């Protein structure tokens, strides 16, 4: 055990074919509490050998029955999982908050959404429908939907268990089996949930959890010839590498790569609601949100007042121990993310004006805390306006009129989300149509529902999660032709 590690540090195992196992190398790596910088757990450090075992288990489970289970049975298992998550939600929320640094109140919402996600797809399992194709011959032409096979799922650390649910729920409902790799920073809640798999009747090997790092555990999963599909949420750089790695085996890939989402405020918007919406859009979950409204576009006539009001409120945001209920912002997830966000704060000071924050939150002697930070007079071509920061750093950009706003908003390599605030429904609808983004909110930012599609345009990725769109990504389409004509073809 490394020095400085407290006695209560728990050593976890990972789940392969229903068994709790160490990594083949026996190596583990530490998992931290980002508010204290203390090690809270040790987790198996998986490599290719472990991934190979997990994929073999998932393949076997798929071939030996899960792929043929009835939709009702898969649905019931998902309902039982939802129920169990709900029953244990206090424990899960506390662990999530401790491990990721997110405020406990937000973690409670996340865990509630986890249960809802399993429930939704439990219900959807029995609604996977085929078609009868209206072909012109004396034949019955059918379209069948079948599970794609083994799914490799690689998830990030900002919504650890929720991203697990977004990946596992539709895959299981579709009849796929899974190898899930949680983020190395935050594997704990997924591992806790995996404790209940056998109780709820999930057969061994249907879901395997492999803990490890991207290059050593993620990449072998992407390259594995027996994996039929990769679902990834994370950085654009890794997303691009995954597309290249998946090419050799022509895998299905879906990617959710975050963005630089514009939050657009017209002068006629309700001012109080606007300020609140700007803060919520960019600072919720410490700004570690793929759809963060990190480019705040404000119409010139309200711009000075807006920057001032937003900054005043930002300075009062309560940073603190994530487990305290009044805390509105916890630490960033890791030292790596802290350093990254700090470097963007410094870059911002060189290319824009600072209205709030700008550094480490000095009142904490330890923990990866940074101040909620607002830059204004930001050029849309500045580094802080183009690159995803993934921390509480806002870039406020002025605009003159509607066409100016849409032009700036769309001038980004990303296109995950956008929001527009106005009391003019016609203006709102024109913007909705013109914005190149997978999600557009009007007079709100961030509400996310399992019933509605999630995913981006442009370099924010491809494929859609959630709703019926999410299950489609785990299904193959088979055309079946049944000849009803008893005569020979008669061609030769």
Alpha carbon of 313 to those of 278, 283, 344: distances in Å? 11, 12, 22
Cα–Cα distance for residue pair 447/439, rounded to 1 Å: 10
Closest CB to ligand NAI among residues 160, 320: 160
Q: Which residue's beta carbon is nearest to the bound ligand NAI?
A: 214
Q: Which of 310, 373, 381 is nearest to 343 (CA)?
A: 373
Residues 28, 97, 211, 233: which binds ligand NAI (CB under 6 A)? 233
Q: Which of 438, 386, 436, 430 is nearest to 410 (CA)?
A: 436
Query: Which residues, in sequence order, are bridge partners of residue 145?
Result: 477
Site for ligand NAI in 383-412 (CB under 6 A): 388, 390
Residues 67, 103, 164, 214: which binds ligand NAI (CB under 6 A)? 214
Instruction: Provide the CB-side half-sphere exposure for 364 (13 A, CA).
Output: 22
- Does 147 interact with ligand NAI (rule: CB under 6 A)? no
Rounded to 5, what percent of the chain is helix, strand, coil? 40, 20, 40
Give min distance, CB of 70 to ligand NAI, in A: 33
- Does 190 interact with ligand NAI (rule: CB under 6 A)? no
| Selected catalytic residue, list 176, 290, 371, 465 | 290
Q: To 10 degrees, the CA torsion angle through 104, 105, 107, 110?
A: 170
Closest CB to ligand NAI among residues 305, 335: 335
Q: Which of 282, 276, 253 is nearest to 388 (CA)?
A: 282
- Does 184 interact with ligand NAI (rule: CB under 6 A)? yes
- Does 357 interact with ligand NAI (rule: CB under 6 A)? no
- Does 254 interact with ligand NAI (rule: CB under 6 A)? no
From the list 52-60, 231-239, 353-361, 402-410, the region that binds ligand NAI by CB under 6 A is: 231-239
Site for ligand NAI in 304-343 (CB under 6 A): 340
Helix segments in 88-187, DSSP class H: 89-100, 104-124, 160-174
From the list 21-29, 139-147, 236-244, 262-270, the region that binds ligand NAI by CB under 6 A is: 236-244
- Does 161 interact with ligand NAI (rule: CB under 6 A)? no
Please report, in angstroms and rounded to a whole number, the separation of the first and last CA atoms in the chain.
78
- To the query of whether residue 290 is one of the catalytic residues in this protein, the response is yes
Closest CB to ligand NAI among residues 286, 321: 286
Q: Is the dihedral of CA 266, 269, 275, 280 positive or negative?
A: negative
Residues with a known catalytic role: 256, 290
Chain residues in the site for ligand NAI (CB under 6 A): 154-156, 158, 181, 183-184, 213-215, 218-219, 222, 233-235, 238, 241-242, 256-258, 290, 340, 388, 390
């Amino acid at each position: 055990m490394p020095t400085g590690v407290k006695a209560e540090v728990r050593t976890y195992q990972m789940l392969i074919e229903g068994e709790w196992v160490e990594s083949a190398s026996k190596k583990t790596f530490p998992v931290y509490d980002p508010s204290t910088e203390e090690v809270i757990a040790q987790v198996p450090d998986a490599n290719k050998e472990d991934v190979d075992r997990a994929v073999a288990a998932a393949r076997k489970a798929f071939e030996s029955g899960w792929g043929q289970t009835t939709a009702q049975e898969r649905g019931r298992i998902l309902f039982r999982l939802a129920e169990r998550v709900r029953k244990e939600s206090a424990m899960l929320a506390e662990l999530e908050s401790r491990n990721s640094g997110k405020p406990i109140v937000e973690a409670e919402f996340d865990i509630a959404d986890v249960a809802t996600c399993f429930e939704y797809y439990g219900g959807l399992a029995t609604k996977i429908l085929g078609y009868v194709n209206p072909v012109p011959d004396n034949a019955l032409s059918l379209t069948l939907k079948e599970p794609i096979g083994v799914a490799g799922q690689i998830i990030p650390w900002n919504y650890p268990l929720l991203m697990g649910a977004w990946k596992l729920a539709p895959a299981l409902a579709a009849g796929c089996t899974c190898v899930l790799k949680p983020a190395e920073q935050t594997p704990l809640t997924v591992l806790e949930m995996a404790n209940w798999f056998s109780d709820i009747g999930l057969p061994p090997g249907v879901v395997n959890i492999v803990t490890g790092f991207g290059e050593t555990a993620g990449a072998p999963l992407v390259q594995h010839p027996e994996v039929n599909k990769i679902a990834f949420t994370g950085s654009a750089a890794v997303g691009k590498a995954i597309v290249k790695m998946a090419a050799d085996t022509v895998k299905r890939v879906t990617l959710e790569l975050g963005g630089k989402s514009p939050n657009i405020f017209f002068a006629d918007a309700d001012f109080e609601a606007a300020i609140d919406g700007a803060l919520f859009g960019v600072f919720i979950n410490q700004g570690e949100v793929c759809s963060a409204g990190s480019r705040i576009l404000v119409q010139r006539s309200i711009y000075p007042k807006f920057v001032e009001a937003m900054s005043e409120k930002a300075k009062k945001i309560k940073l603190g121990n994530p487990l305290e209920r009044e805390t509105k912002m916890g630490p960033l997830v890791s030292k790596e993310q802290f350093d990254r966000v700090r470097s963007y704060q410094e870059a911002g000071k060189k290319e824009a004006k600072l209205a709030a924050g700008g550094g480490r939150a000095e009142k904490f002697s330890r923990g990866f805390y940074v101040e909620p930070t607002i830059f204004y007079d930001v050029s849309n071509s500045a580094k802080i306006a183009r690159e995803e920061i993934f921390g509480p750093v806002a870039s406020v950009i002025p605009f003159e009129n509607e066409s100016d706003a849409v032009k700036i908003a769309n001038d980004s390599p990303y296109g995950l989300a956008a929001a527009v605030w106005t009391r003019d429904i016609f203006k709102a609808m024109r913007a909705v149509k013109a914005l190149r983004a997978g999600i557009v909110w009007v007079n709100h930012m961030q509400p996310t529902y399992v019933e509605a599609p999630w995913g981006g345009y442009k370099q924010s990725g491809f494929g859609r999660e959630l709703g019926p769109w999410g299950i489609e990504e785990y299904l193959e389409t088979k055309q079946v032709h049944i000849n009803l004509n008893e005569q020979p073809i008669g061609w030769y």
